[in-house]
């Protein structure tokens, strides 16, 4: 088991657009194998530019990106896409086949599998995603939420070591978000590394251990979610708001109810309040 | 005369067998800030399209029943006439900005209606102040940010002076800080201009503190229209698959949920008020 | 050959005398210069015509953008030179040079038009020439969405490459098949967009039976009339020269011996 091994190393990269706007400025980042990370920040802060440097869609103007110890500049996008799978925001930007089965087969094309292996993988993914009933259906007949699920399936079936998501919970209802959570948990169990760009503070606060904040092309924070997303100044700079549970915790403390500092998650807050109310009832 | 009146209205899009809207009966009277909720596919967007006549005039299909906006039938009144009563801001501002610069964009609707130039000038001045886009007049749509595009889209609709403003997921592509700004701006507009605003949104956390009422939809049917407290304490709300506010799920998860709360707190402030009684 | 070429036709807001001219005057400019260039096949007059464009380019502060558009035509020029030199026995190379200068002049003239006409004004100028509003509007709408579609195309390419799609393929048939993953999402996206735009337009009273107010106007100014006059003079002089080419001195008909 190679725990704590650096799998992505971004070394002081800059990215400047042809029209001279600076998208990334001296950005450095180390990600270890098996980590689950959120990248948050204002629109235009550089988040999507940053993830595009991971699989070579964007080549930094200065600095280097190393994936699994090798410099990206020596590899093509096709090569990198075998190790890093990025799922972009809009599933409609990739769907084009006659059926869902074909859509999945297309995703497996450049991976040098035999026909039998491809069929096997497709069957397995259709099952995992509960898409068996849609096997022959056109991808254009899917609802928005299902299309997003299909986009997820097309990358997961390639089994890349690193998964990168751009706004995975946007437009998804509670059930769909739950399904997404289950999928990433199952991938983490397989030892995958997951990076997520998102605005969904509540989801991040509840589920993601490490958060990176970006503003104006720079990383302004990188650490445990519980520290980063409870910091007023940083949260403001990144154009976010404090998580509801944290706001509630602060409010309770102000009233004089002593909430222990380690309470961050919903479950813990519920236990605390249950105990508190039990105490109140008992004293009556 | 009510603002909005649906009378046993049903609609099915041409080529579809299922009804997108099933026997809707809805009457909206006062000026209020309303949240339209429902799972994806519940018919929210279709309902919105009915409010200015897009259904059934623009979207081909089969309908039963009637819809009246401020007394005018949405089936027979031309959409262009209804545009001075109802304004809709659609989901993606990119596809609503049709002009090459912001000033042209805002003037567009008024030009179409033949409103005289002096009036156009007056209204532009007023609306850009209200929506805080004065500094953007000369800019092109692709030069401005998502939040700015959204404000321009809102301005270009408000300028036709509708008494009912509808927004379909206005904060979808915005980051939380700007999402909050836009919703607050909309609340202010609703109060100062004394109009009704209906917002269809997934991000309840942001909206619940500010809205008055909630319209709830499920599978093309209207399953609730009432004060937000009533709706959010209902069984049917609890069962729906929507992204509920954090405070709601928190309090629902308490052991003492049913015995102590007649009404669940809907926001952080509400929740804190509940706890103040113990101190 | 890249999308860079298209970039050099994109309007950029600048303060120059050319930018301030009425779009109709500039359209006239492009058309007249096209006629001018088409009138001659000899190198010398074509060079003069081409050189006379330079002051306009400089006055419009367009030099850099213009150079970019010409430079990306290099491929086309080489092609012309080769074909003409090989297939035209009578001074083929000389002829091809003349053609290149001619093409450059025509493209430059139109380039000046596109680089200096605000798309907002484009629709207005069409309307003033009695083009029906709906037609002029769809014209400017198309312009408006070009950058949007370009960004969408890039996003589609990114999404497909991320799932292993490879841009370079060998063989014509493969290259065509390879376009499907890009074209299908783009076309479907554009159709959806068209619907969204249409319903947004309807909702803002587009197509209302009322008489439309035109809040913005364009007017021909004194500068525009002077400019037009100048263009007409150049045209008349060149027509005269064309008709009376016999009386021109020998060097006028100079061409390379090749």
Pair (C104, C139) in one structural domain: no
Of C148, C196, C208, the CB nearest to B80: C208
- For C193, the closest chain B residue by CA position comes to B95
> What are the sequence ranges of the domains in chain A?
32-59+71-228, 243-284
Contact A245 B246 (CB under 8 A): yes
Residues from chain B that touch A44, judged by Cβ atoms under 8 A, are: 145
Task: List residues of chain C with CB under 8 Å from any CB of chain B.
Answer: 118-120, 140-141, 143-144, 147-148, 151, 193, 196-216
Residue C8 has pLDDT above 80, yes or no: no
Structure-token pair, residue B34:
């309303």
Q: Do residues C167 and C232 share a domain?
A: no
d(CA B248, CA B111): 46
Q: pLDDT confidence of C140, banded at 50, 70, 90? A: confident
Question: How many Cβ atoms are within 10 Å of C71's Cβ, its own excluded?
Answer: 11
On the question of pLDDT at C6 being above 80, the answer is: no
Find the CB nearest A93 among C164, C180, C185: C185
- Does a structural domain hold residue C24? yes
Which of the listed ranges A8-12, C19-23, C64-68, C145-149 does the model predict with the highest average pLDDT?
Answer: A8-12
Please indicate, yes or no, whether residues C163 and C88 belong to a single structural domain of this protein: no
- pLDDT-based confidence at C217, cuts 50/70/90? confident
Residue B98 pLDDT greater than 50, yes or no: yes
- Among candidates C150, C120, A209, which has minimal Cα distance to B140? C120
Alpha-helix runs per DSSP H in A197-261:
201-207, 225-228, 232-237, 244-255
Cβ contacts of B245 within 8 Å, gap of 6 or more: A244, B204, B205, B208, B266, B267
DSSP C63-78: HHHHHHHHHTTHHHHH
Do C164 and A82 count as a contact with CB atoms less than 8 A apart?
yes
Which residues in A lie closer than 8 A to residue C160 (C-beta atoms)? 93-94
**C20 within some domain:** yes
User: What 3-state class would DSSP assign to C136?
Assistant: helix
| Interchain contact, B246 vs A144, CB within 8 Å | no
Query: In the predicted model, what is the mean pLDDT of residues C208-219?
Result: 87
What's the pLDDT at C2?
A: 44
pLDDT at residue B114, rounded to an integer = 94
Does the pLDDT of residue A8 top 60, yes or no?
yes
Using a CB–CB cut-off of 8 Å, the residues of B that contact C are: 49, 52, 54, 58, 78-81, 83-84, 87-88, 90, 92, 94-101, 104, 107-117, 120-121, 141-142, 156-157, 160
Chains that touch C (3 or more CB pairs under 8 A): A, B
Question: Is pLDDT larger for residue C186 or for residue B259?
Answer: C186
Contact B208, B180 (CB under 8 A): no
Flag if B246 and A43 touch (Cβ within 8 Å): no
pLDDT greater than 80 at residue B45: yes
Q: What is the mean pLDDT of residues C209-235?
A: 89
Mutation target vs A (from C162, C174, C184; most A CBs, 10 A cutoff): C162
Q: At what angle do helices C92-116 and C43-59 cross, to 10 degrees?
A: 20
Interval A30-64: pLDDT, tens: 999 999 999 999 988 999 999 999 999 999 999 99
Q: Is B193 exposed, middle or buried (0-12, 13-18, 19+ CB in 10 A)?
A: middle
Q: How confident is the model over B14-36, as pLDDT tens digits?
A: 988 999 999 999 999 988 999 99
- Sequence-separated (6 or more) residues with CB below 8 Å from residue C208: B78, B80, B81, B83, B112, B113, B114
Best interface-test mutation with C: which of B54, B107, B114 has the largest number of C CBs within 10 A?
A: B114
Angle CA(C72)–CA(C78)–CA(C81) in degrees, nearest 5? Answer: 140
Q: Is the pTM of this model over 0.80?
A: yes
C94 shares a domain with C12: yes
Q: Is residue C215 part of a domain?
A: no
Query: Does residue C80 sit in the same domain as residue C178?
Result: no
Structural domain containing residue C149? 123-203
How much is the mean pLDDT over chain B?
92
Q: Which of B45, B54, B104, B159 to mutate to test the interface with C (most CBs of C within 10 A)?
A: B104
A-C C-beta contacts closer than 8 Å = 68
All residues of chain B having their beta carbon less than 8 Å from the beta carbon of residue A91 are none
C227 in the same domain as C181: no
Q: Do residues C39 and C91 both lie within one domain?
A: yes
Calculate mean pLDDT across residues B196-201: 95
Answer yes or no: do C33 and C77 share one domain.
Answer: yes
The predicted structure's pLDDT at residue B222 = 96
CA-based nearest distance A223→chain C, Å: 28
SS3 A16: strand
Domain made up of A32-59+71-228: CATH architecture: 3-Layer(aba) Sandwich (3.40)
Q: Is residue C100 part of a domain?
A: yes
Residues C24 and C84 in one domain: yes
Q: Which residues is B11 bridged to in the sheet?
A: B21, B63
Give the mean model confidence (pLDDT) for residues A124-135.
93
Establish if C216 belongs to a structural domain.
no
The closest CB to that of A247, out of B146, B255, B268, belongs to B268
Which subunits have 3 or more CB–CB pairs within 8 Å of chain B?
A: A, C
Instruction: State the chains in contact with A (3 or more Cβ–Cβ pairs under 8 Å).
Output: B, C
Q: How confident is the model at residue C1 (pLDDT cuts 50, 70, 90)?
A: very low
Using a CB–CB cutoff of 8 Å, tell me whether C217 touches chain A.
no
For chains B and C, CB pairs below 8 A equal 102
Q: Is residue C96 part of a domain?
A: yes
Flag if C208 and B58 touch (Cβ within 8 Å): no
When the pLDDT of each residue in chain C is averaged and rounded to a whole number, the result is 85
Residues 6+ apart with CB under 8 A from A177: A169, A203, B243
Same domain, C50 and C108: yes
Do both C93 and C136 map to the same domain? no
Same domain, C22 and C113: yes
User: Which tens digit of pLDDT belongs to each residue from A163-186?
Assistant: 999 999 998 888 899 999 999 999
Cβ <8 Å between B100 and C140: yes
> Which of A118-132, B97-111, B257-271 comes out lowest in average pLDDT?
B257-271
Cβ-based contacts of C161 with chain A (< 8 Å): 55, 57, 77-78, 81
Best A177, A229, A243, A247 member to test B by mutation, with max B CBs in 10 Å, is A247
Give the residue on A whose Cα is nearest the Cα of C180: A96
Quote the number of domains for chain C: 2
Q: Identify the CA nearest to B28 among candidates B189, B222, B207, B192.
A: B222
- pLDDT of C7 strictly over 80: no
CB C150 within 8 A of CB C3: yes
Q: Which two tokens stand for residue C168?
A: 């370079």
For chain A, the residues whose C-beta falls within 8 A of a C-beta of chain C are 52, 55, 57, 77-78, 81-82, 85-88, 90, 92-96, 106-111, 140, 154-155, 158
Q: How confident is the model at residue A1 (pLDDT cuts 50, 70, 90)?
A: very low
Residue at C211 is within a domain:
no
């Amino acid at each position: 088991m190679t725990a704590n091994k650096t799998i992505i190393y971004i070394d002081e990269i800059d990215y400047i657009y042809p029209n001279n706007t600076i998208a990334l400025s001296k950005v450095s980042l180390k990600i270890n194998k098996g980590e689950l990370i959120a990248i948050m920040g204002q629109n235009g802060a550089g988040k999507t530019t940053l993830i595009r440097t991971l699989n070579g869609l964007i080549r930094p103007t200065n600095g280097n990106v190393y994936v699994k110890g090798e410099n990206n500049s020596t590899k093509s996008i096709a090569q990198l896409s075998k190790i890093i799978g990025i799922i972009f925001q809009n599933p409609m930007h990739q769907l084009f086949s006659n059926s869902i089965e074909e859509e999945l087969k297309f995703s497996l094309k450049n991976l040098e599998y035999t026909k039998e292996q491809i069929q096997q993988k497709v069957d397995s993914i259709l099952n995992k995603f509960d898409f068996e009933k849609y096997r022959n259906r056109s991808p254009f007949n899917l609802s928005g939420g299902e299309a997003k699920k299909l986009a997820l399936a097309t990358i997961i079936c390639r089994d890349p070591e690193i998964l990168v998501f751009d706004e995975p919970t946007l437009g998804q209802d509670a059930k769909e978000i739950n399904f997404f959570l289950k999928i990433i948990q199952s991938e983490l169990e397989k030892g995958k590394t997951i990076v997520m760009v998102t605005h969904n503070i509540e989801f991040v606060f509840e589920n993601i251990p490490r958060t990176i904040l970006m503003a104006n092309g720079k990383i302004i924070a990188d650490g445990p979610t519980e520290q980063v997303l409870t910091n007023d100044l940083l949260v403001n700079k990144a154009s976010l708001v404090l998580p509801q549970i944290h706001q509630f915790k602060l409010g309770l403390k102000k009233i004089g109810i002593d909430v222990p500092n380690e309470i961050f998650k919903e479950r813990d807050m519920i236990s605390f309040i249950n105990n508190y109310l039990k105490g109140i009832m008992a004293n009556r | 005369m009510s603002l909005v009146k649906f009378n046993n209205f049903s609609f099915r899009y041409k080529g579809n067998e299922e009804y997108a809207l099933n026997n809707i009966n809805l009457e909206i009277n006062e000026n209020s800030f309303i949240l339209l909720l429902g799972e994806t596919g519940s018919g929210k967007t279709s309902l919105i399209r009915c409010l200015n006549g897009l259904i059934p005039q623009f979207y081909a299909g089969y309908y039963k029943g009637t819809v009246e906006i401020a007394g005018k039938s949405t089936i027979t009144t031309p959409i262009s006439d209804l545009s001075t009563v109802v304004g809709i801001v659609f989901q993606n501002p990119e596809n609503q900005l049709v002009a090459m610069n912001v000033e042209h964009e805002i003037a567009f609707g008024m030009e179409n209606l033949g409103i005289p130039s002096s009036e156009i000038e007056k209204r532009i001045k007023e609306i850009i102040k209200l929506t805080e886009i004065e500094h953007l007049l000369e800019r092109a749509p692709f030069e401005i940010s998502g939040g700015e595009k959204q404000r321009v889209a809102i301005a270009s609709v408000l300028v036709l002076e509708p008494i009912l403003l509808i927004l379909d997921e206005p904060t979808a592509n915005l980051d939380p800080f700007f999402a909050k700004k836009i919703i607050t701006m909309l609340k202010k507009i609703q109060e100062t201009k004394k109009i009704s605003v209906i917002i269809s949104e997934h991000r309840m956390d942001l909206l619940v503190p500010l809205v008055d009422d909630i319209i709830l939809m499920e599978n093309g049917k209207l399953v609730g229209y009432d004060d937000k407290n009533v709706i959010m304490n209902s069984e049917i709300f609890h069962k729906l698959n929507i992204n509920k506010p954090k405070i709601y799920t928190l309090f629902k998860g308490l052991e003492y949920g049913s015995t102590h709360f007649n009404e669940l707190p809907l926001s952080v402030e509400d929740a804190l008020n509940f706890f103040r009684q113990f101190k | 050959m890249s999308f860079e070429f298209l970039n050099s036709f994109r309007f950029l807001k600048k303060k120059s005398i050319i930018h301030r001219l009425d779009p109709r005057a500039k359209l006239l400019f492009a058309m007249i210069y096209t006629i001018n260039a088409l009138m001659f096949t000899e190198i010398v007059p074509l060079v003069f015509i081409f050189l006379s464009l330079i002051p306009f380019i400089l006055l419009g502060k367009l030099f850099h953008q213009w150079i970019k558009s010409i430079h990306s035509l290099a491929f086309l020029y080489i092609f012309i030179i080769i074909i003409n030199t090989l297939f035209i026995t009578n001074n083929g190379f000389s002829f091809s040079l003349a053609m290149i200068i001619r093409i450059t002049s025509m493209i430059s003239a139109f380039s000046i038009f596109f680089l200096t006409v605000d798309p907002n004004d484009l629709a207005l100028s069409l309307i003033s020439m009695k083009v029906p509003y709906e037609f002029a509007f769809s014209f400017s709408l198309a312009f408006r969405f070009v950058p949007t579609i370009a960004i969408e195309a890039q996003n589609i390419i990114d999404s497909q490459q991320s799932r292993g799609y490879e841009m370079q393929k060998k063989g014509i048939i493969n290259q065509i098949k390879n376009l499907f993953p890009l074209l299908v999402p783009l076309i479907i996206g554009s159709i959806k967009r068209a619907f969204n735009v249409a319903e947004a337009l309807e909702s803002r009273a587009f197509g209302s039976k009322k008489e439309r107010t035109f809040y913005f106007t364009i007017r021909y100014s004194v500068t525009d009339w002077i400019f037009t006059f100048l263009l007409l003079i150049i045209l008349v002089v060149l027509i005269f020269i064309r008709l009376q080419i016999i009386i021109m001195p020998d060097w006028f008909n100079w061409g390379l011996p090749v």
